[in-house]
Every structure is written in structure tokens, then in C-alpha cells.
């Protein structure tokens, strides 16, 4: 942020838009890290206790988060705005939506008195964090594709330069 705040775009609208996109991506990544921090405490707690009635649910949540990060990383190897890119984003969105199935399982456990309301509430909150992580990463990818598309456009008059 410090470096990019010193860039003078000299009226170059494309450069200004790309900087805005980069700043938004940075803010999104900070929010994603915050969501991850919230999850970390419960993941550690319930994954260490194999006797917990939500241990298996947290194993599934951890696997979901791992898959989410792998999908995010894999996007770096796909040309933006290609049909493969769009298919990857569609699959990423579908993956994020699979958390709905875990929510249903939690509610079923609650109805069967396998877990209490406090555990169900905690796990539901953590599923919401995981969902926001997934949708946040997906939004970063969408914005990256927009930025790459804009950078492929012919340059406007006036070059960007760093001002000291």
C-alpha cells in the first residue's frame, strides 16, 4: 500500500483502475486472513479431541478449507478469461456451496441430541467463516481476471511512474 500510494498515474485511467483493483484485493486478503484466525482456535481445539462429538465435522471442515486453498492456488496456472478459467471458477463456487451439506448434517445431529446447541452454534459460526473465506477467495479471482483483462487492453496515453 505504501509503495502503490506513491504511484502517479498522470491521468492514466487504466493504471488507476488497476491500482484500485490491487488495493481491493489486498483488503480482501486481509479479511480472509482475519476469518482464518477466527477459525484457527476452534479447529485446534476440536481436532485435538478425538472424543468430541464434532471432531469428524471439524475434520471435514479442515478438508474443505484445504481443498479451497488448493483450488485457489490452481487458478494461478489457468489463463484468465479462458473457458478453462470460467469452468474452474464455476467449480470453485460449487465447492464453496458444499458447506450447505455440512450445515444440514449439524442440524441433524442437533435434532438427534448428538450435540448440544453450543457446539452446533460454534460449528455453524465456523462454517460461516469457511464460507466467507471461500467466497472471498473467489471474489479475488474474479477481480484478478478483470484486472488481467484490463491490462491486456491497449495502453492509454501517459505512463505511470513512482513519485518520491
Q: Mean pLDDT per segment of 10 residues, for the chain of length 164 residues?
A: 62 75 80 89 94 95 96 92 93 95 94 96 95 94 72 44 36
Query: Which residues, 6+ apart, have CB-to-CB distance to 44 below 8 Å?
Result: none
> What is the pLDDT at residue 149?
56
Query: Which residues, 6+ apart, have CB-to-CB distance to 51 below 8 Å?
Result: none
> What is the pLDDT at residue 1?
55
Cell numbers linked to 106: 449439524
Domain ranges of the chain: 12-156
Place of cell 476452534: 42
pTM: 0.80
Cell numbers linked to 69: 486453498
> What is the pLDDT at residue 133?
95
**CATH architecture of residue range(s) 12-156:** Up-down Bundle (1.20)
> What is the pLDDT at residue 163?
35
> What is the pLDDT at residue 21?
74
> What is the pLDDT at residue 8?
65
> What is the pLDDT at residue 30?
87
Max intra-chain CA distance, the chain: 67
- Cβ atoms 71, 92 nearer than 8 A: yes
- Cβ atoms 18, 150 nearer than 8 A: yes
How far apart are the C-alpha atoms of 110 and 107, rounded to whole Å? 5
How far apart are the C-alpha atoms of 35 and 55, rounded to whole Å? 20
> What is the pLDDT at residue 78?
92
Amino acid at each position: 500500500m505504501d509503495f502503490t500510494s506513491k504511484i502517479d498515474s498522470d491521468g492514466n485511467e487504466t493504471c488507476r483502475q488497476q491500482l484500485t483493483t490491487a488495493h481491493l484485493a489486498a483488503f480482501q486478503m486481509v479479511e480472509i486472513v482475519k476469518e482464518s484466525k477466527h477459525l484457527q482456535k476452534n479447529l485446534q481445539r476440536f481436532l485435538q479431541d478425538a472424543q468430541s462429538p464434532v471432531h469428524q465435522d471439524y475434520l471435514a471442515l479442515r478438508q474443505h478449507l484445504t481443498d479451497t486453498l488448493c483450488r485457489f492456488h490452481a487458478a494461478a496456472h489457468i489463463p484468465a478469461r479462458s473457458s478453462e478459467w470460467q469452468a474452474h471458477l464455476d467449480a470453485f463456487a460449487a465447492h464453496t456451496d458444499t458447506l450447505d451439506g455440512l450445515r444440514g448434517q449439524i442440524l441433524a445431529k442437533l435434532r438427534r441430541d448428538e450435540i448440544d446447541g453450543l457446539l452446533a452454534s460454534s460449528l455453524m459460526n465456523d462454517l460461516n467463516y469457511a464460507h466467507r473465506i471461500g467466497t472471498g477467495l473467489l471474489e479475488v479471482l474474479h477481480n484478478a481476471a478483470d484486472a488481467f483483462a484490463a491490462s491486456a487492453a491497449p495502453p492509454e496515453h501517459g505512463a505511470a511512474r513512482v513519485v518520491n
